Amino acid sequence: MKPIKAVLIEGDGIGPEVTRAVVAIFNAACVPMEWTPHKAGLAALSAGSEVLPAKTIDAIKEYGLALKGPCTTPIGKGFTSVNVGLRKALNLYAAVRPVRSLQGVKTRFENVDIIIIRENTEGLYSGIENEVTPGVVTCMKVATEAACLRIALWAFRFATHRKRKKITVFHKANIMKVTDGLFINCAERIHKKDYPNIDYNTLIIDAGCMRLVQDPSQFDMLLLENLYGDVVSDLCAGLVGGLGVVPGANIGDHGAVFEAVHGSAPDIAGKGIANPLALLMSGVMMLNYVADERDDVSIKKLADKIKNAYNQALADNCKTRDLGGEMGTDAFAKAVIERLGG
């Protein structure tokens, strides 16, 4: 099998621990990875380079592929988000976050199966904030027709490819009539023009969140602008066991960066108790992405092998503490490795 070349960013906080676990599982599964390690965030700063080194961006551009551990984003002050910077620099405009119930992970609901598509490049994340006068500050929400149409088209294409039935847009166009209005207008245009076969509806986000926690089974795919996508991703993670079990991909037209939805979780960093599953699942998404790109079934088989192994581990009650178990990061990784089979 042709090697799979990808950049590996460990990140910080729990990043190095969970990344190490994922690499060990990939090695044990004989995935032909050729990792090129690069730094970003606090790790890059401590190594004396910029927070998002040009070398890291260039390497991802070269390979078109990266697996990334979480990078801390300071609150209120300090450098701007590495995650946001990377998505912008590489134009990774579509965030994909599948949220599914896992066998062996007890939650309030069974059979949750929602795919969240988040617009990754604009909205309030544009970072345009100003102090108009002392005590008065503003933050600009940006929506462009080009980006709204692009993400809507991407979502409907994805839905078709994955045989999903329905897309729901969460919005607040009753208040933000112009920006959110444009977002839903673009989604509706794409739906009517090219994808009338896929069900489409819109919900005001507050009502949508209430419905999500009452009965998530009524949702199939969610399409959201940047900030709503961030918040609703964590809400949905709570429906299936928390941040330790939700993977993610940031995809553009020329590459993709796979990373867990969770952050660097500084409260548990270095303790060896973080759940590596979300990053492992992101790695499996990465393999499926490469399998699709190359039209190579053998890579898909490797992805399935790892997925079956972690599902079996959970079914056998091998769990980290966030899921109510006792295992540490390495012990869970070992449990997955033991279930990889031949």
Chain residues binding ligand ATP by CB under 6 A are: 14, 73, 234, 243-244, 262-265, 267-268, 274-275, 278, 322
Looking at the Cβ atoms of 11 and 208, the one nearer to ligand ATP is 11
If the CB atoms of residues 168 and 320 are measured against ligand ATP, the closer one turns out to be 320
Residue among 167 and 318 whose Cβ is closer to ligand ATP: 318
Q: Measured from the CB of residue 51, what is the shortest distance to ligand ATP in angstroms?
A: 14
CA distance 6 to 102: 28
Could you count the other beta carbons within 10 Å of the beta carbon of residue 254? Answer: 11
Three-point CA angle 310, 316, 319, nearest 5°: 65
CB atoms within 10 A of CB 320: 23
| Nearer to ligand ATP among residue 21 and residue 182 (C-beta) | 21
Q: Among 171, 57, 52, which Cα is nearest to 119's?
A: 171
With respect to ligand ATP, which residue has the nearer C-beta, 14 or 221? 14
Amino acid at 302: L
Cβ atoms of 84 and 117 within 8 Å: the answer is: no
State the minimum distance, in angstroms, from the CB of residue 160 to ligand ATP. 30
262 and 292 in contact (C-beta within 8 Å)?
no
**Nearest residue to ligand ATP on Cβ basis:** 263
CA distance 168 to 328: 38
Specify the DSSP element, H or E, that contains 271: none
Least distance (Å) from ligand ATP to the CB of residue 145? 29
| Cβ proximity to ligand ATP, 73 vs 308, nearer residue | 73
* Residue with Cβ nearer ligand ATP (291 or 335): 335
Of 33 and 245, which CB lies nearer to ligand ATP in the complex structure?
A: 245
Q: How far is the CB of 248 from ligand ATP (least distance, A)?
A: 11
Q: Rounded to the nearest 10 degrees, what angle do helices 277-294 and 297-315 cross at?
A: 160
Beta carbon of residue 260, minimum distance to ligand ATP (angstroms, whole number): 7
Contacts 24+ apart (CB under 8 A), 199-204: 199/165, 199/166, 199/167, 200/166, 200/167, 200/168, 200/169, 201/166, 201/168, 201/169, 202/168, 202/169, 202/170, 202/171, 202/173, 203/168, 203/169, 203/170, 203/171, 204/170, 204/171, 204/172, 204/173, 204/174
What is the number of alpha carbons within 13 Å of residue 236 lying toward its C-beta?
A: 31
Nearest approach in angstroms of CB 234 to ligand ATP is 6
CB of 18 to ligand ATP, least distance (A): 6
- Output the smallest distance, CB 274 to ligand ATP, in A: 4
